[in-house]
Amino acid sequence: MIIKTTEYLAMVRDKTGYSDYKIAKEYDINQSNLSKYSSGKAALSETHAWLIANILDIDPAEVVANTKFEHAINTGNNSKAKFWQEQLNKIFSETSPIRIQIAQFNPIVGDIKLNAQKMLDLSIEANNAGAHLIIFPELALTGYPPEDLLFRDGFTNQVKEEITNFCNLVPSDISILFGAPNKTDDFLFNSAYLIQNNRIFNIYNKQELPNYGVFDEKRYFSSGVDSFVFECQNTKIGVLICEDQWVEGPISSLCQSNIDIVVSLNASPFQLNKQSERINICKNYALKFDITFIYVNMVGGQDEVVFDGNSFIVNNQGDVSLQLPAFKELSVSHIDTTFTPSLVSNVSLIYSAIVLATKDYIQKNTFGGALIGLSGGIDSALTLAIAVDAIGAENVHAVMMPYQFTSDMSLTDSELQAETQGVEFSSIDIHSMVDSFNLSLSDQFRNTSRDTTEENIQSRVRGTLLMALSNKSHKLVLATGNKSEMAVGYATLYGDMCGGFAPLKDISKTMVYQLAKYRNTLSDVIPERVITRPPSAELAPDQVDQDSLPSYDILDDILMRFVEQKQSVNEIIENGHNSEDVNKITSLILRNEYKRRQSAPGPKISSNAFGKERRYPMTSKFKP
């Protein structure tokens, strides 16, 4: 609110009880000047504005700015009027409670310019909405993880250039906290940059560097040693980056500075039950140190990891006062009451994670859509539903490739699902192609028995056709195999393993069934008998998976114990499993490492996913 000179004088009269004559005499103000002030013909001089501010016990800067603005209006100086209006806005904003914008951000690794532009747009929006501070996740500018891009000088130079540009373009009224690499001399840090008044006010270097699971930070970064606390709106804010919060040292050091709020910038991948762990540790800190804890997390798919967002605030009473949704990119105020904690099933979370990972892999790599070999089985049916939910039916092409062992049920159900989901559907008969392969190999295979070799030719023909369609249409082939199959090698290299991305790679067969049933609760897209029929590769007459494998509930429990919990053969047997099954399954897992090394990437969901996270030798004589 703009206050004029006449109003300030009225406030002085009210407070002192003096007349204008008495005011002039008591405070040594020239009577002629005071008359001009009282009549509104002149604005207070800077000296008199400061004097009156002291009399009224208010901020002198406020009175000076108001009277300077008044003088500019009176003299018709529009540029000065605009300047003093901006100063008044700043002064008044500093007296209001802090408003922090939380940007749950989905960057693209390496697209530094685009990420910076998105951050700029969100900063401008936040400033226009009255925010004093906007916070972005860990390494928001580069995306996470940038991996060996960090070894390139050209990459780190682009980071510096974009930060300089960003500083010049952002509104001066808002503070901005974001993650980016920081190269100082010969050291590279994973850092948080604070921008205030269009300049880098300070840089915090992450202290705790994770080097387990999907994380390789010690390969790239040096550890920081100093804490970082800054003030905004008379609020003391301490900064952490991701792993810093899982070790008490960094936050204990921060809280020695009597801070009000801790802000933690994160690039924390999705994993079942991880969110409850995050909230619990932040609750403990909030109660122990009497602070508000703001956790902002990245969202989006990046190769084999998917970030779930799930940003939240825990107040100093240990209550979750704000909970952003999972797997959605958005920017909200920390005092927003729209987003409150809600219960979401694990199956729903997993499905959302896979959909977002698939969407981002396809779109961030600029593919024109997705291709899926539809078999009539539950894996390809679920993969089709995921693809449609990720990128839309108009961008998905389903291809049925029948051979003599393909059942009428599979033909009917595949076409029905494609029609229900509204995708392009093609059927390519592969009899002549498989026969040609068999004929060409007949001399080489003379005096041998028919076995999985001939079965795999069918699968490899299908893989070749899908890759040809992919080349022609620039659509990505989605492999449909699941974790149970990949674990024991129940997949054909260069056949049904063909593809650029495998949405179900970390999904057990038993979870495939749960996901299919869950998806049908949203809308009926997977035929019921696809879910209930015995699973089969249909590469031989009357073939079903359980001809060569134990039931999937048994198989998946053994896999979970051996792969994720790292139990030994004896431990698994002691937990009630048949020794023959355990020895067979664990042997198959180790023997098929070479296949998995050549498989398509897929999103990590479990605590130990095949791919980037699980690094076992292909050549090994280890006996578990």
Residue with tokens 């195999």: 481
- Give the C-alpha separation, 109 to 146, whole Å: 6
Which amino acid type is present at position 39? S
| 35 annotated ligand binder | no
Which amino acid type is present at position 222? S
| 252 annotated ligand binder | no
- Give the C-alpha separation, 34 to 39, whole Å: 9
Catalytic residue (one of 68, 118, 242, 613): 242
Q: How does strand 312-314 pair with strand 292-297?
A: antiparallel
Distance of CA 284 to the CA centre of its chain: 24
Q: Does residue 76 sit in helix, strand or coil? A: coil
Angle, CA of 41, 45 and 47, to the nearest 5° = 155
294, two tokens: 């703001």
- Give the C-alpha separation, 19 to 17, whole Å: 7
| 62 annotated ligand binder | no
Q: Where exactly are the structural domains of the chain?
A: 5-94, 100-344, 351-543
Q: Is the peptide bond before 145 cis (omega within 30 degrees of 0)?
A: yes
- Give the C-alpha separation, 253 to 230, whole Å: 14
Q: From the CB of residue 142, how many other CB atoms can be counted at a distance below 10 Å?
A: 27
| 4 annotated ligand binder | no
Contacts for 170 with CB less than 8 Å, ≥ 6 apart: 120, 123, 124, 176, 195, 198
| 376 annotated ligand binder | yes
| 331 annotated ligand binder | no
Catalytic residue (one of 138, 217, 538, 613): 138
- Give the C-alpha separation, 91 to 85, whole Å: 10
Q: From the CB of residue 257, how many other CB atoms can be counted at a distance below 10 Å?
A: 11
State which H helix or E strand residue 553 sits in: helix 552-559
CATH architecture of the domain with range 351-543: 3-Layer(aba) Sandwich (3.40)
Contacts for 473 with CB less than 8 Å, ≥ 6 apart: 368, 369, 371, 397
Is the pTM above the cut of 0.85?
no
| 351 annotated ligand binder | no
- Give the C-alpha separation, 1 to 59, whole Å: 14
Contacts for 150 with CB less than 8 Å, ≥ 6 apart: 156, 181, 188, 220, 221
200, two tokens: 């880098």
- Beta partners for 203? 193
pLDDT score of 144: 96
Which amino acid type is present at position 381? A
Residues of the chain with pLDDT under 70: 1-2, 89, 91-95, 535-548
pLDDT score of 617: 85
pLDDT score of 563: 92
Q: Cβ distance 365 to 600 under 8 Å?
A: no
Q: Is domain 5-94 classified as CATH 1.10.260? A: yes
Catalytic residue (one of 68, 206, 359, 364): 206
- Give the C-alpha separation, 476 to 460, whole Å: 17
Q: Cβ distance 333 to 362 under 8 Å?
A: no
User: Is 282 considered catalytic here?
Assistant: no
pLDDT score of 465: 96
Q: Cβ distance 170 to 120 under 8 Å?
A: yes
| 377 annotated ligand binder | yes
Which amino acid type is present at position 536? S
| 375 annotated ligand binder | yes
CATH superfamily of 100-344: Carbon-nitrogen hydrolase (3.60.110.10)
Angle, CA of 424, 426 and 431, to the nearest 5° = 165
- Give the C-alpha separation, 356 to 335, whole Å: 27
Contacts for 149 with CB less than 8 Å, ≥ 6 apart: 109, 110, 142, 155
| 456 annotated ligand binder | yes
**Residue 598 Cα distances to 264, 553, 610, angstroms:** 37, 26, 11
Q: How does strand 133-135 pair with strand 100-104?
A: parallel
- Give the C-alpha separation, 209 to 224, whole Å: 9
User: Which alpha helices (H) appear in 523-551, and where do they start and end?
Assistant: 528-532
| 318 annotated ligand binder | no
pLDDT score of 543: 47
